[in-house]
Amino acid sequence: MQNLMPPVATIVPTTHTIHGDTRTDNYRWLQDKTSAEVIAYLNAENDYTKSVMEPTEALQKTLYDEMLSRIQETDLSVPYKYGDWLYYVRTEEGKQYPIYCRKQGDECTEVVTLDVNVLAEGEKFMSVGAYAISDDGNLLAYTTDNTGFREYTLRIKNLQTGELLPDVIEKVDGVSWAADSKTLFYVTEDETKRPHEIYRYVIGSPASGGGGGTLIYAEPDALYRAFAYRSRDKKFLFVGSASSTTTELHYLETDNPTGELTVILPREENHEYYAEHRDGLFYLRTNKDALTFKLIATPVSAPEPLHWSDVIPYRPEVGLEDFDLFSGHLVASEQADGLPQLRVLDFSTGDEHTINFPEPTYSASSDVNREFDTTIFRFRYSSLVTPLSVFDYDLSSRERTLLKETPVPGGWDRTQYVSERLFATAGDGTKIPLSIVRHKDTPVDGTAACVLYGYGSYGIIMPASFRTGIFSLLDRGVVYAIGHIRGGGEYGKPWHDAAKLMFKKNTFTDFIACADFLVEQGHADREKLAIMGGSAGGLLMGAVVNLRPDVAKLCLSYVPFVDVINTMLDDTLPLTVGEYLEWGNPNEPEAYAYMKSYSPYDQLEAKPYPTMLVKTSLNDSQVMYWEPAKYVAKLRTLKTDSNPLLLHCNMDAGHGGASGRYDALTEAAFDYAFLLTQLGLV
């Protein structure tokens, strides 16, 4: 057994004064990733964590084997049609990464377009970003990241010969093909990882500009991120820029890739809109005079509001999240009463209907739908007790066909589990939904262990979807719950707006209300309650344990955004400036004071804290590794309890942790072993 004493970080005070307020940061030196001393400290933390967890290695192996037994290692996705080919992804037993393939028919010979296992040879990390096939089916444009920093490199593959073209372009954020199958549009990032420029590139052209090609669009405003995408009917390329509150789109006909961009609607503060095209009309999802969005149609030649006609009118109680446009139908992805629904509109008859789902809490969304001239809509559905299922839905006949339910081997039986939807009450009376799942034999009498997961930022909806790993917890009597707290998007944009900027603390108090509700209603024993969150959900964890250190016995915090003030004051970091619209700009005194009042790193105090496992990755580009490292170092000097406090830094990954599927299972087994051991369940 190795040393069981936690490492002690050197104190090197650094002071910073703004708005007349002076803060001292004793651990700023940990922000030098090139420092041998920093790497040594992170390795020491990893060694300490390994020492503490050494007695759980047999349990980790048991959990790993259990979770692996519920995965069909050799598997195949449902093929989707694009052009003359059927495309799919498969996995092979023993291989970490997916294999991208295609066929020209069910009985035809398989062609491997991209084997990620081959790309990963000799690499400690591998992730595929873009995967775009040219209209003629002959070329594949794809991007890869081999560090976890989410810095992607573009390459082109000739699918007829299998050869890689010499074209290589760095820092590419997204790609779209023109109709000629030789012109490619791609988005590049600046030094802060903000997508800011879009280039037109003819395959085989000499390198120039952003790595190759002609600049067609540049976004100078640091609040905005540039993007490009193609309409489903393939006639238009949409090029635009968006902050978290404002959008501006331009368009270009894809059969004229050298043409000029034309603006649809000039940017207008707090106006968000997103476009698709059908039969000479732009369909715009817009929040102009419609807080939860509406859908309008307008002529391509006259997109101004004067010419708008409602397709799906504004309904304050329903959030219009997205839409899929086809030649004869429209499918809207909506949030109603905090749950997803799919609304179908038939253009020929004007009839509307919704696709119904049977369970009290679930996840449902559009799947891959590449064809425009079709009456078949593909969607995916799952719940906490229903594995991921892919359906084809006939938009005319309303017939629903199950194409595949993801197999769950290992003796798993869905009838052994119970899922429900309950509501906690926040301090201001707001009802906060919880999605809950447990083994049917787990009592609801206040004696059960429980894991409560939360996020609550950016308007992101936390889906109540199937997770094979959690059944290793449920089978041991642990209740699993998701708190759909404000700051997310479960009730559309108002739910997000109610817990961002100067209302951010609603996220934290909502989560505490969920935890208290679970205890009060008998779903959890406070002494066996664990809370869990990552990234902005890690900020949630840090804020909650500062506000209510007694709220739970255990806290698992992943890549946590805990050093809010220091990060938001550094506009050279990735994401910072664009995030002003979510968190506020600390260069403004009022925003600074409010942020400081909840920033977990700044609000640490000398008092007892729960048992904690904090995880990060050295190559994280979204929440820099030093935030959790500094947080743990400072907390060790303040906490007055003897509860374990562990930091683990993956030295070869980024924001999402390990990239290989078996490595990801190993990480999950480690976390669950810590949780079960510390809650006294093994």
Q: Which residue has the tokens 């996840």?
A: 363
Which one of 324, 617, 655, 671 is the catalytic residue? 655
Q: How many residues does the chain have?
A: 682
Per DSSP, the three-state class of 383 is coil
Which two tokens mark 171?
Answer: 């820092």
What is the number of H-type helices and E-type strands within the chain? 12, 39
Which two tokens mark 649?
Answer: 């830094």
Please report, as a single letter, which amino acid is at residue 4.
Answer: L
Q: Which residue has the tokens 């924001």?
A: 655
**Are β-strands 111-115 and 273-278 bridged in parallel, bridged antiparallel, or unpaired?**
unpaired
d(CA 89, CA 297): 36
Closest by CA position to 551, among listed 515, 525, 518: 515
543: left (phi over 0), alpha (psi -120 to 50) or beta: alpha
Enumerate residues 6+ apart whose C-beta is below 8 A from 301: none
d(CA 174, CA 342): 27
d(CA 565, CA 585): 10
603-635 burial, b at 16+ Cβ within 10 Å, e below that, comes to: bbeeeebbbbbbbbbbbbbbbbbbbbbbbbbbb
- How many other CB atoms sit within 10 Å of the CB of residue 646? 22
Which one of 127, 333, 535, 617 is the catalytic residue? 535
Closest by CA position to 80, among listed 89, 71, 93, 69: 89
Q: Which residues pair with 164 in a beta bridge?
A: 157
655 is catalytic: yes
Q: Are the beta carbons of 50 and 390 closer than 8 angstroms?
A: no
d(CA 73, CA 410): 12
Q: Are the beta carbons of 188 and 211 closer than 8 angstroms?
A: yes
d(CA 570, CA 591): 15
d(CA 350, CA 340): 22
Which two tokens mark 195?
Answer: 């997508």
Which one of 25, 525, 602, 620 is the catalytic residue? 620
Q: Which residues are catalytic?
A: 535, 620, 655
